Amino acid sequence: MEPIAEIKTRLSIEDLVGQYVQLKKVGRNYRGLCPFHNEKTPSFYVSPDKELAYCFGCRKGGDQFAFIQEVEGLDFREALQFLAEKAHVELPQRTPIQKKQASRRERLLELHDDATSFFEKQLWETKDGAKVLDYLKKRGLTEEIIKKFRLGFAPDERNLLYKYLLKTEYTKSELLEAGVVIAKDTTDQSECFDRFRLRLIFPIMTASGKVCAFGGRAVKEGEQPKYLNSPETPVYHKSELLFGFFQARDAIRHERAVICVEGYMDMLAAFQAGTRQVVATGGTALTEQHLTLLKRFVDTLIFAFDQDNAGRDATRRAIELAIPQDFTLKVARWAEGKDPAELCQKGGGEAFNKIISEALPVMPYLLATSAERHMHDGQIDKKQAVAELIPFILLSPSPIERDEWLKEASSRLGISVNVLYEEIKLGQRQQRSPARRTLAGRGEAGSHEQGRERKITEKQEYLLGLLLTYPSSYGLVYHMKPEDLFDDFELRNIYIHLVNQYNQISEGTDFSLSLEGVEPSMQNRVQLVSLYAESLLKELTEKAAAAEVQEAALSLLRIRFDSRKQQLLSELRQAQGDEQERLLINYQALLQEEQSLTYGQKS
Ligand SMILES: [Zn+2]
């Protein structure tokens, strides 16, 4: 058997998806909350018969491979390896020639892997490396952790890595693309040198554990910049990756919670101390993409950024991004001056755990910090504190949470809830809150037209799904023009295909649609469309199904006629004389056609 087919038979889609999503059986299918977007009512369906896992809300999903690609953030090749391992299916080894032809992405990842080995060798086997190793151990890291995260050392040499990788048969342009070397002159790339020199190297990995970038910490005191990272490359998008995520993932999934720290060392120290559900932003700001990734795995998000001004600002920005995504948010606080790595080193895992377990829920945290920021001569400046808090409260998607937060703010600041509501109204008039800024950035208003089109496509899919499930009800729509029912080209073709086959069978025989000779993309669409109808239907009697078909078809016809009427009317408004006459006749004909079609089945 082909590896792909074998993997599919060994890993049932419902078991595979069940490891990520809580599924409930509904009829022949399963249903759950979509892992790809944030929702409260489930629109994510898994069909064992069709080997499909699909969300009708955000339209993501597909077979086992598509699902894993999406949920784990892998490309197809990586998903294949991931699933082959899970299913204990051996993949054929690739020949050296195939390896040469491997995609650019894969080449770049291999290059990073080779560079990582180079840095590791420098750390473990050289005299200068030994000093860095010593430093790491003094900071409390064990050899086991250093090896697990593949830390390394970039020596104080102009182009040692460059020469090494050229010999390992990478091209100069690949090295430049990966960002591990820099051309001395951007126009003349003849002279290249290593990006990382005399630095401690933290490999940054993809969700599947492939090194795709490096963070380098200066070894010499006072060297600037203290941290130097790889640039954005085809394999490294810093807004999507979190340091340590690959190693922490099992713990994150298990705990349904994640702790977010700033530095690489903080992450490593916490992980080693036994708090394994931890990731580091690595000095870049937390982004919406980071949060979307984490949302697939956790409900609770705990920020443990540094307790200095920069850390506090980063925390507030992170909170602003995370509230709309509906996390349970907490913020850890401790005495200023120490970072989590130092806490772990001094007090061990217990000290860090204590701080995490005492983390404040988000509203008490915001209340406490706002009060501190706006405290003058022992008095809180309530006006400023309220102005600062309200935008955060408004970001919550949950009315209950908003209400609770307002009550908390009211009791903490000694202002009645009514007055806070007044402030909100005032603020909305003045439109100056970060809440607005964030929400406007989402462009929800602009997508109105798209939403309408999506709805119409969904109606068409529903009708076609019904017809596929109950082909005998086709008789109810046969007098309607296919192009009036389906303006989606693919759906119309499937419909015509269905009708042709249905017309060829003799009465009373059971009918099932044959997809032989139909393009794969259309076959997929057929599967999706029938699953969509199944997701919306309980088992229907033939009669009830007929009524659904009629209703769905008529509603589509009405839309079609409405838009044609609109079109004609706007042309009429511009037209004069004969032209006007002609359009009027057309318009009347259209009205008649509409009537006869709508009531056609009655006459
Ligand atoms: Zn979805």
Q: Burial letters for 226-236: b for 16+ Cβ neighbours within 10 Å, e otherwise?
A: ebbbbeebebb
C-alpha 519 to ligand 1 mean position (Å): 26
pLDDT at residue 72, as a whole number: 82
Percent of the chain with pLDDT over 70: 92
C-alpha 36 to ligand 1 mean position (Å): 5
C-alpha 493 to ligand 1 mean position (Å): 27
C-alpha 542 to ligand 1 mean position (Å): 31
Q: What is the pLDDT of residues 448-478, one digit of tens each?
A: 666 777 888 888 988 998 888 888 788 888 8
pLDDT at residue 577, as a whole number: 82
The CATH number that domain 245-358 falls under is: 3.40.1360.10
pLDDT at residue 147, as a whole number: 97
CB 275 within 8 A of CB 236: no
C-alpha 541 to ligand 1 mean position (Å): 30
Q: What is the pLDDT of residues 270-314, one digit of tens each?
A: 999 999 999 999 878 899 889 988 887 888 999 999 998 889 999
Q: What is the spatial distance between Cα 306 and Cα 281, in angstroms, rounded to a whole number?
A: 12
The CATH number that domain 100-229 falls under is: 3.90.980.10
Residue 421: partners with Cβ closer than 8 Å, 6 or more residues away = 406
C-alpha 528 to ligand 1 mean position (Å): 14
Q: What is the spatial distance between Cα 531 and Cα 29, in angstroms, rounded to a whole number?
A: 9
pLDDT at residue 160, as a whole number: 95
pLDDT at residue 436, as a whole number: 40
> Could you tell me the pLDDT band of residue 121, with boundaries at 50, 70 and 90?
very high
C-alpha 17 to ligand 1 mean position (Å): 14
C-alpha 31 to ligand 1 mean position (Å): 12
Q: What is the spatial distance between Cα 46 and Cα 17, in angstroms, rounded to a whole number?
A: 8
pLDDT at residue 448, as a whole number: 63
C-alpha 551 to ligand 1 mean position (Å): 27
C-alpha 378 to ligand 1 mean position (Å): 50
Q: What is the pLDDT of residues 248-264, one digit of tens each?
A: 988 888 888 999 999 99
Higher pLDDT, 522 or 61: 61
pLDDT at residue 101, as a whole number: 63
C-alpha 57 to ligand 1 mean position (Å): 5
pLDDT at residue 508, as a whole number: 66
C-alpha 181 to ligand 1 mean position (Å): 40
C-alpha 41 to ligand 1 mean position (Å): 10
C-alpha 531 to ligand 1 mean position (Å): 15
Residue where the block lists tokens 């342009």: 173
C-alpha 88 to ligand 1 mean position (Å): 29
Higher pLDDT, 174 or 505: 174
Q: Which among 81, 64, 87, 69 has a CA at the least distance from the CA of 18?
A: 64
- Answer whether residue 327 shows pLDDT above 70: yes
C-alpha 39 to ligand 1 mean position (Å): 7
Q: What is the spatial distance between Cα 315 and Cα 338, in angstroms, rounded to a whole number?
A: 16
C-alpha 207 to ligand 1 mean position (Å): 20
3-state DSSP assignment of residue 24:
strand
pLDDT at residue 599, as a whole number: 59
pLDDT at residue 190, as a whole number: 75
Average pLDDT score, the chain: 86
Mean pLDDT comparison of 131-145, 442-456, 535-549, highest-scoring range: 131-145
Percent of the chain with pLDDT over 90: 38
C-alpha 51 to ligand 1 mean position (Å): 17
pLDDT at residue 408, as a whole number: 93
C-alpha 45 to ligand 1 mean position (Å): 10
- Answer whether residue 200 shows pLDDT above 50: yes
Helix, strand, coil percentages in the chain from 3-state DSSP, rounded to 5: 55, 10, 30
Q: What is the spatial distance between Cα 262 and Cα 248, in angstroms, rounded to a whole number?
A: 15
Q: What is the spatial distance between Cα 551 and Cα 143, in angstroms, rounded to a whole number?
A: 69
pLDDT at residue 275, as a whole number: 93
pLDDT at residue 435, as a whole number: 42
C-alpha 559 to ligand 1 mean position (Å): 27
Q: What is the pLDDT of residues 223-235, one digit of tens each?
A: 888 999 999 998 8
C-alpha 458 to ligand 1 mean position (Å): 15
Q: What is the pLDDT of residues 328-344, one digit of tens each?
A: 999 999 987 788 888 88
pLDDT at residue 295, as a whole number: 83
C-alpha 295 to ligand 1 mean position (Å): 12
**Parallel/antiparallel/unpaired status of strands 44-47 and 52-55:** antiparallel
C-alpha 44 to ligand 1 mean position (Å): 6
C-alpha 55 to ligand 1 mean position (Å): 5
C-alpha 61 to ligand 1 mean position (Å): 8
Q: What is the pLDDT of residues 23-46, one digit of tens each?
A: 999 888 999 998 888 778 888 999
What region does 257 belong to: left with phi over 0, alpha with psi -120 to 50, or beta?
beta
Higher pLDDT, 468 or 131: 131
Q: What is the mean pLDDT of residues 558-587?
A: 85
pLDDT at residue 117, as a whole number: 97
pLDDT at residue 242, as a whole number: 94
C-alpha 300 to ligand 1 mean position (Å): 20
Q: What is the spatial distance between Cα 22 and Cα 44, in angstroms, rounded to a whole number?
A: 11
C-alpha 38 to ligand 1 mean position (Å): 7
Query: Can you read off the two tokens belonging to residue 425?
Result: 């109204």
C-alpha 525 to ligand 1 mean position (Å): 17
> Could you tell me the pLDDT band of residue 527, with boundaries at 50, 70 and 90?
confident
C-alpha 54 to ligand 1 mean position (Å): 8
Residue 172's CB is within 10 A of a number of other CB atoms, namely 15
C-alpha 209 to ligand 1 mean position (Å): 26
CB 174 within 8 A of CB 207: no
Q: What is the mean pLDDT of residues 429-435?
A: 51
Query: Can you read off the two tokens belonging to residue 383?
Result: 């006006």
C-alpha 220 to ligand 1 mean position (Å): 48
Q: What is the mean pLDDT of residues 414-432?
A: 79
Residue where the block lists tokens 């899919």: 461
> Could you tell me the pLDDT band of residue 445, with boundaries at 50, 70 and 90?
very low
Q: Provide the 8-state DSSP code for 477.
A: T
Fold entry, domain 449-598: DNAb Helicase; Chain A (1.10.860)
The domain locations on the chain are 3-87, 100-229, 245-358, 366-435, 449-598
CB 108 within 8 A of CB 235: yes
State the sign of the Cα–Cα–Cα–Cα dihedral 139, 142, 145, 146.
Answer: positive
Q: What is the spatial distance between Cα 393 and Cα 494, in angstroms, rounded to a whole number?
A: 49
State the sign of the Cα–Cα–Cα–Cα dihedral 329, 334, 337, 343.
Answer: negative
Pick the CATH number of 3-87 from 3.30.160.60, 3.90.580.10, 3.30.750.24, 3.30.565.10: 3.90.580.10
Residue where the block lists tokens 């009347």: 588
